[in-house]
Amino acid sequence: MELSNRITGLAGGGAAWGVFFRARRMAAAGDEITELTIGEHDVRTAPGILDEMHRAARAGHTGYADIPGVAELRAAVADRVTRMTGVATTPANVLITPGGQAGLFAAHMAVLDPGQIGLHIDPYYATYPGTIAATGATALAVPTRPEDGFLPRPGALAAAAESPGARSLLINTPNNPTGAVYPRTTLEEIAAVCADAGLWLISDEVYDSQVWEGDHVSPRALPAMEARTLVVGSMSKSHAMTGSRVGWIVGPETAIAHLGNLAITTTYGVPGYIQDAATYALAQGPDLEEKIAAPFARRRRVALAILSRQNRVRPVPSQGAMYLMLDIRATGLSGLAFADRLLDARRIAVMPGESFGRAAAGHVRIALTVDDDRLAAALSQLLEFAQEIAP
């Protein structure tokens, strides 16, 4: 029996993920691999959050939970968004989702019809093209350039926005994989393009607690943007709750009401005990988020100090998120070849820039997700390797 084009057309990651899977196989076979690949914390969810999850489950919150999200969690998310962005946000602006990824899919379902075009920026988080394609729309990447710090140029955005059928633009700040935190001016340019072309803006802000320099600006806070912006957030990165699958969409009340109907036909909500644990976690306030983010800030400083001793491998200037993007073009290798050879030569796994689209070719991304000493040792090895290879 034939499956739909929609589902068979979803790529499972592509060749550039080969290094990642090879590293996992090598590790499973007993090799000691330093994995600097995916955005998974090296600490687990805090015991207090787990205690609350357990308490809520034992208290009976194991049945179907309210579909748009339990009232307490919607209120807690609305408070966090109001506090962090200055935009008055109520529970009616919030839909709880099973993680940011489900939020990204639902947000695109809310604004794209089959055959239309959803724009996103290149380089991108690996799921973006598939997420847009899964709605039946076409994903169109808008390339950025290393020399611009991978920030989108308004001209390129405006040209893409003129594509017939373009209905939405997906951005991500703080950015995975580049670490860029979009400055207000860039966000204003993006807002102007969206307003001129009548686009929805889908703003992926799952790294909003990981800002090392400057400030995170949510584009929903810019003039006239509240009505055309859907913000995707998550407990995964801010609270080390990746496996709990809990996140949200914040947007106009009408959109959130329709998204609630979509949730009835897809996820049927998020487990109540998980939502109670998320409510508890948010009630701990910014201190907990800062504590979880702190090791990445520290390791970034360690990494930048090591990188500053040479100039063959250059860090892409970045201000946030748990990654560093390294420009390895001076080695003459593609990101893919560099990552492949590094894995064999030094047992260090990094993500080739090519796994995030075309714009980051000749780069590799390292995740700051191993302890400081191990990171420092791996980075020194990586630099030694980069010095050894021609040209």
- Do the bridges between strand 323-327 and strand 314-315 make them parallel or antiparallel, or are there none, so unpaired? antiparallel
**Residues 6+ away with beta carbon under 8 Å from 132:** 108, 112, 118, 120, 138, 139, 170
Nearer to ligand PLP, 109 or 333 (CB): 109
Residue nearest to ligand PLP (CB): 100
Binding of ligand PLP at residue 99 (CB under 6 A)? yes
- Shortest distance in whole angstroms from residue 115 CB to ligand PLP: 25
144 binds ligand PLP (CB under 6 A): no
Nearer to ligand PLP, 13 or 332 (CB): 13
Binding to ligand PLP, residues 4-63 (CB under 6 A): 39
Residue 339 burial (10 A CB sphere; 0-12, 13-18, 19+)? buried
Identity of the residue, 117 or 246, whose beta carbon is nearer to ligand PLP in the bound complex: 246
Beta bridge partner(s), residue 165? none
Give the number of residues written for the chain: 391
- Contact segment (CB under 6 A) with ligand PLP among 48-56, 93-101, 221-229, 293-301 equals 93-101
Distance, CA of 11 to CA of 134 (rounded, Å):
10
| Cβ(211)–Cβ(174) below 8 Å | yes
One of 131, 229, 242, 334 touching ligand PLP (CB under 6 A): 242
Alpha carbons 221 and 99: distance in angstroms, whole number: 23
Q: Which of 45, 93, 101, 168 binds ligand PLP (CB under 6 A)?
A: 101
Of 69, 146, 152, 247, the one binding ligand PLP (CB under 6 A) is: 247
Is 289 a binder of ligand PLP (CB under 6 A)? no
Q: Is 172 in the site for ligand PLP (CB under 6 A)?
A: yes
Closest CA to 270 of 107, 78, 53: 53
Using the contact rule CB under 6 A, the part of the chain among 72-80, 208-216, 234-242, 358-366 near ligand PLP is 234-242
Q: What is the largest CA-CA distance in the chain?
A: 64
Is 118 among the residues that bind ligand PLP (CB under 6 A)?
A: no
Stretches 12-20, 49-57, 99-107, 110-118: which one binds ligand PLP (CB under 6 A)? 99-107
Q: Which of 229, 236, 275, 355 binds ligand PLP (CB under 6 A)?
A: 236
Residue whose C-alpha is closest to residue 65's, from 280, 282, 274: 274
192 vs 198: CA distance, rounded Å: 10
The tokens of 191 are what? 């807002």
Binding residues for ligand PLP, rule: CB under 6 A, are 39, 99-101, 125, 172, 176, 204, 206, 234, 236, 242, 247
